[in-house]
Amino acid sequence: MRGTVLVNLDKPFTALNGHAWRVDLSDWDDSLGDPLKFMLYENGLPVGWPNAPRYAIEQWGKGRYRIEDNGLIFSATDNSDPNQAGKTYSFRTDFI
């Protein structure tokens, strides 16, 4: 990860259905680039399950996420409330 810049995501996150949460990324819209190169991090560690279908994030969670409508729809890796669990979330747009 040398030279990689992680961008911190600010709380509060908005609760959606099931295990899904949303954070607005409209300030980053022009620089997000290819969603396939977007990587979410939880406590500094990459989260697997990128580009998951919305229903999978809501139903199963476990770190699934996707970029949708200028926002990040995601779930914590342990399905906890990311506003209360004391975890940090960040991302990078150049993963590969």
The one-digit pLDDT tens for each residue of the chain (96 residues) are: 445 789 999 999 999 999 999 999 988 766 777 777 899 999 999 998 899 999 999 999 999 999 998 899 999 999 999 999 899 999 998 877
3-state SS record for the chain: CCCCCCEECCCCCEECCCCCEEEECHHHHHHCCCHHHCEEEECCEECCCCCCCHHHHHHCCCCCEEEECCEEEECCCCCCCCCCCCCCEEEECCCC
Q: Give this prediction's pTM.
A: 0.90
Q: For the chain, how far is it from start to end, CA to CA, in angstroms?
A: 11
